[in-house]
Amino acid sequence: MNVALTQTGRASGRVPGPGAVLAALAAAQFTVMLATSIVNVALPQIRAGAGLSDGGTTWVVNAYGLAFGALLLAGGRVADLVGRRRVLVGGLALFALASVVAGLTTSSGVLITARAVQGVGAAAIAPAALALVMDRFPPGPGRGRALGVWGAVSGAGAAGGVLLGGLLTQAWGWPWIFHSVALGSAVVLAAVVALVPRDAEAESARRGERQGAAERGRFDLLGTFAVTLALTALVWGLTTARGAGWTDARVLGSLGAAAVLLVAFSMIERRRPNALVPPRLLRAGRVAVGNVLMALLGSVWIALFFFLPLYQQQVLGSGPLVTGVGQLPLALAHMIGSALAPRIARGIGATATVTAALLTEAAGLLWLSWMRPDGSYLVDVLGPSVLVGLGLSIAFVQLTALAVDGVPRQDAGLAGGLVNTTRQVGGAVGLAALATLAGSVTAHATTDRPPLDALTAGYQAAFTVSAAILATTALLALFLTRRTGARTATGIGTGAGAGAGAGARPVGAGPSTSPLPPVPQDR
């Protein structure tokens, strides 16, 4: 915490401690992740209460993910230019308001629109909060512990959403899902306003950056417009493919438009001095590698929390509350793994940690692929859930660190937006592909097998492919992080700005001044 902030705090008689600041920022991330999964177990009740069709029910989930994934890059860059605390506060206020509307409405159109507005708020919250964590915690063990907390609340939010959704739906009805999110968002907003102080020096620096951006042509509106449309078309096409199939004209047209727009975005960025995704960002540290691996991890992450509750409810016959309670061991394992991740990485290095974590999660998913139509929670779900939670949490913490490694301060919000984008888009791709696969296997098996056997066969196929994806990701991590780790260790090719990575330094140089976390070097 800098001198100006400390002096300001002394003058007011109150200086929020780093633990309080982290708690407020982590609560914001928890809220975003909670809203991603809290509706999953309540979809049948939401469909009946809001008069939704099958397609409309799907869009209660898709509208949030679509807006969230498409606007994350823009949200991260706006946070860098306008002010991270300001964007975080605005995002939380919008998120809370949209949640209130979603809980009060009985109109399907208003409900879906409110979910989309929630996604817009989430796209502002997630990158701004992560960038503020990077601002407030200097490089070293403290930042590693902060990222461990960040990973813990991310997983706890995803798993806790299933639990809370089941509890509230069974006790008071589905509108309380959204009422609870609105109340939680309001509490987090108050905590952020009270506990996350304005950093005078950082705000001054950001004002200077905004002035410099104005001199270079202001915010990259053209690039932002192109990539937002591209991501919207991509996520919309993938989510629509789950129900309509990959050969549907709307799906093919949307995916084709996404490809054209992404090419256009790439061409636009090469010519703009104030590019939304400047080349220096992808050259810094191990940002590119971290994002590629995070996209692959995301491709099975979202699918896990989609298929596992379905198996518990549709095959094992569990109600919403029992299904939610069944997610607790996974959430607990996720929290433990997130807490241990920085310590493990310091002991065995980043490459070994990421590889072992991915293989652990792959083993858990392979175990899930052996689930039986006449199975039980204790035999078929509990054990693999613990393995998946441990592996997922450690991998998430380390890949987040990789994806922001060596990024200069002025790009911290964009780096946070980028890693969240790759996880969300990877999740949309993975869920669309795995849902299509599961549906196809189930449809084929229905011709000669009982319905529960056919359903289970589809889930088995999805988890088998998920395990294979993570095993492949582990091999990529073993190769890519070790190679780029060597480049970082020698100070070669990790440039930000003029060519020297913000977080990398030649052997023998003085202490790193990077504002973002150093990744443990491989042993």
Q: What does the pLDDT read at residue 213?
A: 45
- Which residue type is seen at 132? L
Nearest Cα to Cα of residue 170 among 322, 324, 321, 312: 321
Q: What does the pLDDT read at residue 99?
A: 96
Distance CA 145, CA 142 (A): 5
Residues 51 and 108 sit within 8 Å (Cβ to Cβ): yes
270 φ, ψ (degrees, to nearest 5): -70, -20
Q: What does the pLDDT read at residue 405?
A: 76
Q: What does the pLDDT read at residue 55?
A: 62
Helices 451-490 & 350-368 angle (0-180, nearest 10) = 180
Residue 517, burial from CB neighbour count under 10 angstroms (0-12, 13-18, 19+)? buried
Sequence-ordered strand ranges (E) for 119-208: none
Q: What does the pLDDT read at residue 514?
A: 33
User: What b/e readout covers 440-453, taking b as 16+ CB neighbours within 10 angstroms?
Assistant: ebbeebeeeeeeeb
Q: What does the pLDDT read at residue 456?
A: 95
Residues 372 and 319 sit within 8 Å (Cβ to Cβ): no
Please enumerate in sequence order all residues whose Cβ is within 8 A of that of 72, keeping only pairs 6 or more positions apart, or say none.
123, 126, 127, 417, 418, 420, 421, 424
Q: Which two tokens stand for residue 491?
A: 């100070």
- Written as tens digits, the pLDDT of the chain (523 aa) is 443 444 444 444 466 788 899 999 999 999 998 888 888 778 878 888 888 776 677 778 878 888 888 888 888 888 888 889 999 999 999 999 999 999 998 888 899 999 999 999 999 999 999 889 888 886 667 777 888 888 888 877 877 787 888 888 888 889 999 999 999 999 999 999 999 887 634 543 454 454 444 434 467 888 888 888 988 888 788 777 767 778 889 989 999 999 999 999 888 888 777 778 877 777 766 788 889 999 999 999 888 888 888 899 889 998 877 887 888 898 889 889 988 888 898 888 888 999 999 999 999 999 999 999 999 999 999 999 999 999 999 999 899 888 887 777 777 778 888 888 888 888 878 888 898 888 889 988 888 888 899 999 999 999 999 999 999 999 999 888 765 554 443 332 333 333 333 333 332 333 333 333 344 444 4
Distance CA 422, CA 427 (A): 8
Q: What does the pLDDT read at residue 472?
A: 96
Q: 3-class SS at 496?
A: strand
Distance CA 151, CA 338 (A): 5
Domains and CATH numbers, the chain: 16-198 (1.20.1250.20), 220-273 (no CATH), 281-489 (1.20.1250.20)
DSSP-assigned letter for residue 39: T
DSSP-assigned letter for residue 220: -
Model pTM? 0.76
For residue 267, count other CB atoms closer than 10 A to its CB: 11
Q: What does the pLDDT read at residue 258?
A: 93
Distance CA 91, CA 120 (A): 8
Q: Which two tokens stand for residue 262?
A: 């992404």
- Which residue type is seen at 21? V
Helices 412-445 & 451-490 angle (0-180, nearest 10) = 150
Q: What does the pLDDT read at residue 494?
A: 33
Distance CA 389, CA 116 (A): 29
Q: What does the pLDDT read at residue 171?
A: 85
